[in-house]
Amino acid sequence: DIVMTQTPLSSPVTLGQPASISCRSSQSLLHRDGNTYLSWLQQRPGQPPRLLIYKISNRFSGVPDRFSGSGAGTDFTLKISRVEPEDVGVYYCMQATQFPYTFGQGTKLEIK
């Protein structure tokens, strides 16, 4: 199985300041079809997860442009340019390049 490792596991941030979460995979997520199936999900308290970013850097419909994704191969980053109160929650990276699909452990974003 591909292991997904996120850092940090907890991130206290100040409103209006940027935040960054890293995700590293145990092997390259480049699929033989040329795509890299790395996505980022947000789970607010008491809610199901929702898709933020897919294929490394594509924002899903309705996702604010303060969220951005980057990376390649085995190293990926989610950035929030200016943290808003509604961004509080747990963020997960997920790989869908190889079965079984796997998630990172989650990073809890909280306001200082």
Partner 1 sequence: EVQLVQSGAEVKKPGESLKLSCKGSGYSFTSHWIGWVRQMPGKGLEWMGIIYPGDSDTRYSPSFQGQVTISADKSISTAYLQWSSLKASDTAMYYCARHVSGDIDYWGQGTLVTVSS
CB of 97 to partner 1, least distance (A): 7
CA 52 centroid distance within chain: 8
Q: Is 21 in the site for partner 1 (CB under 8 A)?
A: no
The 10 Å CB-count burial string (b at 16+, else e) for 45-71 is eeeebebbbbebbebeeebeeebbbeb
Q: Which of 34, 62, 100, 112 forms a contact with partner 1 (CB under 8 A)?
A: 100
**Within 13 A of 22's CA, how many CA atoms are on the CB side?**
6
Stretch binding partner 1 (CB under 8 A), from 19-27, 54-62, 64-72, 74-82? 54-62
CB of 82 to partner 1, least distance (A): 25
Q: How many residues bind partner 1 (CB under 8 A)?
A: 27
CB of 17 to partner 1, least distance (A): 25
Question: Contact, 98 vs 4, CB < 8 A?
Answer: no
Measured distance CA(7)–CA(58) in Å, rounded = 21
Question: Contact, 76 vs 58, CB < 8 A?
Answer: no
Q: Which of 13, 21, 23, 41 forms a contact with partner 1 (CB under 8 A)?
A: 41
Q: Which residues bind partner 1 (CB under 8 A)?
A: 1, 31, 35, 37, 39, 41, 43, 48-51, 54-55, 60, 90, 92, 94, 96-97, 99-106
